[in-house]
């Protein structure tokens, strides 16, 4: 068995026993992946920060239910997908997500993105263009419907395999492939629509 997997299982056991340091270590190992995925799904850094906190609160509270059949990250992605789906349902029904730490008015937290559309040159305008591209992609992804948004982020940004995607989303690998194809088409259309509006 892989040394990292063994170490993670020991951390999980300690965390289930109430070890706060082990909980912190588990969160630290996965927080960037979860945050980066959420920021692309919701298109807003403040909402993503709050939702990531909710994901980890749910995970820590339910850690004893993690059975270890899949990777911990796969289990966390499942919690994340359900949390983001709830967020969008609440938003559509007029609900107002509340910040867990009162930081709603603090603005962009400056967290790095896992996927960067960075300009190759050193000119400031090139860096600005790259930032605009990232914002455009975020906006386009946020404009997709739920099932498309999550599959594009998890596959094309986070790089999950078809098998892991099927596990996270609770669908077959065949459905993953067909939904991903439709999601990419929808993303292309949304990007084109946003580009026309610039």
Q: Is residue 39 part of a domain?
A: yes
**Separation between Cα atoms, residue 11 and residue 19, nearest integer Å:** 9
The domain in which residue 19 lies consists of: 1-97
Instruction: Give the Cβ contact number of residue 121 at 10 Å.
Output: 11
Q: Which CATH number belongs to the domain containing residue 35 in this structure?
A: 1.10.1740.10
**Separation between Cα atoms, residue 194 and residue 132, nearest integer Å:** 12
> pTM for this structure?
0.69
pLDDT tens column, 133-164: 778 888 889 889 888 999 999 998 888 999 99
Q: Which of 64, 97, 130 is the last residue of a domain?
A: 97
Q: Is residue 26 part of a domain?
A: yes
Q: Is residue 159 part of a domain?
A: yes
**Separation between Cα atoms, residue 184 and residue 45, nearest integer Å:** 23
Regarding whether 52 and 125 lie in a shared domain, the answer is no
Tokens 């799904």 locate to 41
Regarding whether 143 and 65 lie in a shared domain, the answer is no
**Separation between Cα atoms, residue 20 and residue 179, nearest integer Å:** 39
pLDDT tens column, 25-68: 999 999 999 999 999 898 888 999 999 999 999 999 999 888 87
Q: Is residue 178 part of a domain?
A: yes
Regarding whether 70 and 6 lie in a shared domain, the answer is yes
Residue 102 pLDDT grade (very low, low, confident, very high; cuts 50, 70, 90): very low
| Of 86, 89, 67, residue with least CA distance to 12 | 67
**Separation between Cα atoms, residue 135 and residue 194, nearest integer Å:** 11
Question: Considering just the CA atoms, what is the radius of gyration of the chain in Å?
Answer: 18
pLDDT tens column, 173-196: 999 999 999 999 999 999 888 888
Regarding whether 121 and 49 lie in a shared domain, the answer is no
CA quadruple 52, 154, 148, 143: dihedral, nearest 10:
50
> What are the b/e assignments for 48-62, b being 16+ CB within 10 Å?
bbbbbbbbbeebbee
Regarding whether 2 and 92 lie in a shared domain, the answer is yes
Instruction: Give the Cβ contact number of residue 5 at 10 Å.
Output: 12
Regarding whether 132 and 84 lie in a shared domain, the answer is no
Q: Which CATH number belongs to the domain containing residue 124 in this structure?
A: 1.10.10.10
Domain count, the chain: 2
């Amino acid at each position: 068995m892989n040394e990292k997997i063994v170490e993670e299982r020991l951390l999980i056991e300690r965390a289930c026993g109430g070890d706060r340091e082990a909980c912190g270590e588990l969160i630290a190992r996965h927080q960037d992946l979860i945050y980066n995925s959420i920021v692309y799904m919701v298109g807003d850094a403040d909402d993503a920060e709050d939702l990531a906190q909710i994901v980890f609160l749910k995970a820590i509270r339910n850690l004893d239910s993690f059975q270890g059949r899949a990777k911990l990250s796969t289990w966390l992605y499942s919690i994340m997908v359900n949390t983001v789906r709830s967020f969008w349902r609440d938003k559509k029904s007029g609900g107002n997500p509340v910040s867990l730490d009162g930081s709603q008015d603090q603005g962009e937290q400056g967290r790095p993105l896992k996927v960067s559309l960075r300009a190759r040159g050193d000119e400031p305008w090139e860096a600005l263009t790259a930032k605009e591209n990232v914002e455009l992609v975020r906006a386009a992804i946020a404009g997709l419907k739920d099932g498309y948004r999550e599959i594009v982020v998890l596959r094309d940004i986070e790089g999950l395999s078809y098998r892991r995607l099927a596990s996270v989303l609770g669908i077959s690998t065949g459905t993953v492939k067909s939904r991903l194809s439709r999601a990419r088409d929808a993303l292309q259309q949304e990007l084109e629509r946003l580009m026309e509006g610039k």
